[in-house]
Amino acid sequence: MKYSVPSPKLRLAKYLAAVPAPPSKVYWEYKVPLNLWGMFANDTIGDCTCACIAHMLMLFTAHTGTMVTPTVDQIVAAYSAITGYIPGDPSTDNGAVITDVLNYWRDTGIAGHKILGWAAVNQANIQEIEQAIWLFGGVDVGITVYQSMEDQFAAHQPWDHPSGNVLGGHSIPVFGYGSEGCTGVTWAMLQQMGWSDFEQICQEAYVVITQDWLDAAGKAPNGFDLATLQADLAAM
């Protein structure tokens, strides 16, 4: 994963002024069976930014209808279209920028699904991260991976006090939180981390606005004012 280049973005904070404090605990990830998350080829190529989208699609649709699970071919095809990756040619496997992936998801679609738009979240503001997860089902975050994190993942342990060599950037969705920290999905597994660890490793965060997070009546969870956000998106 490549970190996104700073640019003017729609900021989620604009829409949170009238939103009450989020619940003390949210765990949207419960809706997807643990054995179904899937790698989406991220064990062999650097398509974490697109594997993250697959996990988000699974979670959104699991909560609002029938769960959609993209195929590996669909996710790799999106990664190829966005980055120029040629399957079988490692020299073309150079990762993707999260905002490029979000723009492609909005404009072209991934696995037959499009989003209405996306907004940046202040990753340094934990309450804003919590509000984003509560309202939109999750956040797409770009993180720095340290050697200790790979070691702890392999040992099925929470990420705690990241240290050692920096291995690179990574994109994961974060779907749940509590007073101690948050829960994301990476490499086909749930991964927990404390809030101080999140603050250390998280470099960027985004929410997406999508019909897949609406019920049959067109309502988003918690009564979020989707129409207001759509109006600003249309004016961008």
pLDDT tens string 30-39: 999 999 999 9
* Residues belonging to the chain: 236
pLDDT exceeds 60 at position 233 = no
pLDDT at 218 over 80: no
Question: Binning pLDDT at 50, 70 and 90, where does residue 214 land?
Answer: confident
Radius of gyration of the chain (CA): 17
- The per-residue pLDDT of the chain, averaged, comes to 90
Where residue 236 falls among pLDDT bands split at 50, 70, 90?
very low
Q: Residue 17 — very low, low, confident or very high, per pLDDT cuts 50/70/90?
A: low
- For 118-158, write each residue's pLDDT tens digit: 989 999 999 999 988 998 899 999 999 999 999 999 999 99
Ordered domains of the chain (ranges, CATH)? 22-235 (3.90.70.10)
